[in-house]
Amino acid sequence: MDQLSIIWQGLPSLLSGTLVTLNLTFYFLAIGFILGIILALGRVYGPIYLKLLIILPFERFFRAVPELVLLFLFYFGSSFFHINMSAFMAAVLAMGLRSAAYQAQIFRGAIQSIGKEQMKAARSLGMNTLQSIRYVILPQALRLSIPSWSNEYAVVLKDSSLAYAVGVTELLRQGRYIVARTFGNALLVYSVCALIYFVLVFIGNQILKFLEERYKIPGYELKEKKEQSVLERI
Amino acid sequence: MPKVILKVENLYKSYGELKVINGISFQVKQGETTVIIGSSGTGKSTLLTCINLITPPDKGRIWLEEMEITDPKTDINLIRSSIGMVFQHFNLFTHLTVLDNVRLGLTVVKQIPKDRATDISIEKLSLVGLADKINSYPAQLSGGQQQRVSIARALAMDPKLILFDEPTSALDPELIGEVLNVMIKLAQSGMTMVVVSHEMGFARAVANDIIFMENGVIVEEGDPDTMFHHSQNPRTQEFLHKITELYGGKSE
Task: Give the start-to-end residue ranges of the domains of chain B.
Answer: 4-82+160-247, 96-158
pLDDT of residue A229: 60
Q: Are A162 and A28 in contact (CB under 8 A)?
A: no
Do the chains contact at A217 and B137, CB–CB below 8 Å? Answer: yes
Do the chains contact at B157 and A140, CB–CB below 8 Å? Answer: no
Q: Are B183 and B167 in contact (CB under 8 A)?
A: yes
B140: chain A residues, CB-CB within 8 Å:
218-219
Measure CB to CB from residue A135 to each of B104, B141, B153 and give the nearest one: B104
Average of per-residue pLDDT across A130-135: 96
B70 CA to chain A: closest CA distance, Å? 15
List, in sequence order, every residue forming a beta bridge with B220; answer none if it has no partner: B212
In terms of CA atoms, which chain A residue is nearest residue B162? Answer: A124
Element (DSSP H or E) covering residue A104: helix A87-114
Q: Note whether A210 contacts B: Cβ–Cβ < 8 A.
A: no
The residue ranges of every structural domain in chain A are 2-233
The closest of A102, A202, A194, A200 to A152, measured between CA atoms, is: A102
Do the chains contact at A217 and B94, CB–CB below 8 Å? Answer: yes
pLDDT of residue B190: 93
Give the separation between CA B227 and CA B233, rounded to whole angstroms.
9
Do the chains contact at B85 and A121, CB–CB below 8 Å? Answer: yes
B108-127 residue pLDDT tens: 999 999 999 999 999 999 99
A86-107 residue pLDDT tens: 999 999 999 999 999 999 999 9
B157: chain A residues, CB-CB within 8 Å:
125-126
Residue A222 in this model has a pLDDT that exceeds 70: no
pLDDT of residue B249: 54
Q: Are B148 and B132 in contact (CB under 8 A)?
A: no
Interface test with B, best of A124, A129, A224 (most B CBs within 10 A): A124
Measure CB to CB from residue A219 to each of B84, B109, B140 and give the nearest one: B140
Report the percent of chain B where pLDDT is more than 70.
Answer: 98
Residue A234 in this model has a pLDDT that exceeds 70: no
* Structural class in CATH, domain B4-82+160-247: alpha beta
What ipTM goes with this model? 0.92
Q: Are B104 and B92 in contact (CB under 8 A)?
A: no
Average pLDDT over all residues of chain B:
92
Please calculate the CA angle B60-B65-B67 and round it to the nearest 5 degrees. 60
pLDDT of residue B205: 87
A68-77 residue pLDDT tens: 999 999 999 9
Interface test with A, best of B49, B69, B95 (most A CBs within 10 A): B95
3-state per-residue secondary structure call for chain B: CCCEEEEEEEEEEEECCEEEEEEEEEEEECCCEEEEECCCCCCHHHHHHHHCCCCCCCEEEEEECCEECCCCCCCHHHHHHCEEEECCCCCCCCCCCHHHHHHHHHHHHCCCCHHHHHHHHHHHHHHCCCHHHCCCCHHHCCHHHHHHHHHHHHHHCCCCEEEEECCCCCCCHHHHHHHHHHHHHHHHCCCCEEEECCCHHHHHHHCCEEEEEECCEEEEEECHHHHHHCCCCHHHHHHHHHHHHHHCCCCC
Please, which pLDDT band fits residue A231 given cuts at 50, 70 and 90?
Answer: low
B238 CA to chain A: closest CA distance, Å? 34
Give the separation between CA B167 and CA B183, rounded to whole angstroms.
10
Average of per-residue pLDDT across A166-185: 90
Q: Note whether A188 contacts B: Cβ–Cβ < 8 A.
A: no
Q: Give B169's contacts (C-beta < 8 A, 6+ positions apart).
A: B88, B197, B198
DSSP A61: H
Homologous superfamily (CATH) for A2-233: MetI-like (1.10.3720.10)
Please, which pLDDT band fits residue A7 given cuts at 50, 70 and 90?
Answer: confident
Residue B252 in this model has a pLDDT that exceeds 50: no
B3-23 residue pLDDT tens: 999 999 999 999 988 899 999
Interface test with B, best of A111, A114, A117, A125 (most B CBs within 10 A): A125
**What are the respective helix, strand and coil percentages of chain A, to the nearest 5?**
85, 0, 15
In terms of CA atoms, which chain B residue is nearest residue A140? Answer: B95
Do the chains contact at B95 and A128, CB–CB below 8 Å? Answer: no
Q: How many residues does chain B have?
A: 252
B210-224 residue pLDDT tens: 999 999 999 999 999
B173-211 residue pLDDT tens: 889 999 999 999 999 999 999 999 988 889 988 999 999
B135-187 residue pLDDT tens: 999 999 999 999 999 999 999 999 999 999 999 999 998 899 999 999 999 99
Report the percent of chain A where pLDDT is more than 70.
Answer: 94
